[in-house]
Structure 1
Amino acid sequence: MSDNRIFLVSRSARRRELLNQIGIRFELMLLRTASRQDGEVDESWLSGETPETYVQRVARDKALFGANLLLKRRMPKRLLLAADTTLDLDGEVIGKPKDANDAKAILKRLSGRTHKVLTSVALAMPHDIESPVKSCLSVSEVSFRVLNADEIDHYVATGEPMDKAGAYAIQGRAASFVASINGSYTGIVGLPLCETVTMLRELGYAV
């Protein structure tokens, strides 16, 4: 394969950094807006969905949207990678905070407890009509120490939580909140590299 780049259907700087870290060549394919509700993909939590089925649906729909856009624009038929990350707290989907007060409320709920971080990765193959999407789900457990109100206020004031699922970045200032993890660190950041590389290799992509 002379040009082994993929398209990354994501605005996440963390996902770009992780792909660069392992030498995956990619180009960005962005959705129209930076908001959680992008228009092309319904990212609302639908009735009857579990956190697992929710995050897998959103990642799959992002990949399919990118594949359809690629075909409409007659762009090179490369693999497209999309992903979505959410938190599961007692069976409830916890996404990005709406504002600072919401971020504080989320962090208070996570304080002293264990939650799950779910990241689904979907690879779309626009040249394969029979099997257009291959996906995986990474499930990790994160345990927080007890947080006091002052440190929650200080952390939210930094602005770091505002574009993060669960209102925190494990790779940032919130690293000190984490007592332990069980699972994939890169999955918690936003792209489970082991699972992603495994899928790429299964599709013949040299990694």
Structure 2
Amino acid sequence: MRFVLASASPARLAVLRAAGIDPEVRVSGVDEDAITEGLPDASPDELVTALARAKAEAVAATFTDPATLTDPVDPGAAAATVVVGCDSMLAINGRTVGKPGTADTARSRWAEMSGGTGALLTGHAVVLVRHGEVVGEAADTRTTTVRFAAPDAAELDAYVATGEPLAVAGAFTLDGVGGWFVEGVDGDPSSVIGISLPLTRRLLAGVGVAVHELWRPALRAADDTRTGDRA
């Protein structure tokens, strides 16, 4: 089965690779601002889920030609493709924020977050394509509380100068330089990095895909060997 990550995020890719999956990466190219503007009354949960679903569906649409969906092991069999899309936002003081984009915005975000907490919401969507048709979809959101440190002015200037907080939801990372300024998380750390492994596992199961079937061949072979030893 082909596993496709509908995201350009290196953090999400790293989480999946560390967890035994080597996904194919395809960027959706969806207009996130247009989707957000089209859902003015959506709750934060609804919005991040809608964005994740839009990304997954856009990439899944590229796998609808049966001529391209052949199993490399058995050329006569139609292959299945599972696509995972994600989107993250930070909720602070009753409003949601995405990527700052500019140094000034990143500083403003940190002035608001410093010494406090925020809710990191990550929307997840899974689309299963088989025989050139979408045969299953599942989506949900995971929310994790992040407890922020209070960096001093010099620390914050140095962090903003790295450029990292400008391009990530909430202006911080857990697995990068921003980790110096996160006191802790209450919930799922992988979701804060960008993709919740527990939630993705559950959504995959919801469309009939067992996560261990997606692990890289060496891990599956080791599992088969252990199963044989127990037989």
Deviation for aligned residue 1:105: 0.8
CA distance in 1 between partners of 2:167 and 2:58 (Å): 22
Greater CA drift, 121-130 or 82-91: 121-130
Match of 2:48 in 1: 55
Asked if the contact 1:41–1:62 (Cα under 8 Å) also holds between the matched residues in 2, the reply is no
CA distance in 2 between partners of 1:160 and 1:68 (Å): 32
State the identity %. Answer: 28
CA distance in 2 between partners of 1:111 and 1:142 (Å): 11
CA distance in 1 between partners of 2:47 and 2:94 (Å): 11
The change in CA–CA distance for 1:69 and 1:57 in structure 2 (over 3 A counts) is same
CA distance in 1 between partners of 2:106 and 2:185 (Å): 21
Question: Is 2:76 aligned against 1:71?
Answer: no
Note the alpha carbon deviations across 1:31-72, whole angstroms, 9 max, x for none: 34xxxxx43883535311221111011001111111222226
Match of 1:121 among 107, 120, 124: 124
Note the alpha carbon deviations across 1:94-136, whole angstroms, 9 max, x for none: 1001211111111111101110001111101234978642012
Question: Is 2:146 aligned against 1:142?
Answer: yes
Asked if the contact 1:31–1:40 (Cα under 8 Å) also holds between the matched residues in 2, the reply is no
Greater CA drift, 127-136 or 113-122: 127-136
Match of 2:179 among 162, 165, 175: 175
SS at match of 1:31: coil
Greater CA drift, 42-51 or 107-116: 42-51
Deviation for aligned residue 1:145: 2.1
Match of 2:13 among 13, 16, 21: 16
CA distance in 1 between partners of 2:33 and 2:107 (Å): 27
Match of 2:31 among 28, 32, 39: 39
Asked if the contact 2:142–2:191 (Cα under 8 Å) also holds between the matched residues in 1, the reply is yes
Question: Is 2:188 aligned against 1:195?
Answer: no
Deviation for aligned residue 1:84: 0.7
CA distance in 2 between partners of 1:178 and 1:24 (Å): 27
CA distance in 1 between partners of 2:160 and 2:5 (Å): 29
CA distance in 1 between partners of 2:24 and 2:134 (Å): 25
Higher helix share: 2
Asked if the contact 2:128–2:134 (Cα under 8 Å) also holds between the matched residues in 1, the reply is no
**TM-score (structure 1 length as normaliser):** 0.86
Deviation for aligned residue 1:204: 2.7
* 2:36 maps to amino acid: S
Asked if the contact 2:201–2:211 (Cα under 8 Å) also holds between the matched residues in 1, the reply is no
Q: Which has the larger radius of gyration?
A: 2
The change in CA–CA distance for 1:196 and 1:99 in structure 2 (over 3 A counts) is same
Asked if the contact 2:129–2:135 (Cα under 8 Å) also holds between the matched residues in 1, the reply is no
Match of 2:219 in 1: none
**TM-score (structure 2 length as normaliser):** 0.78
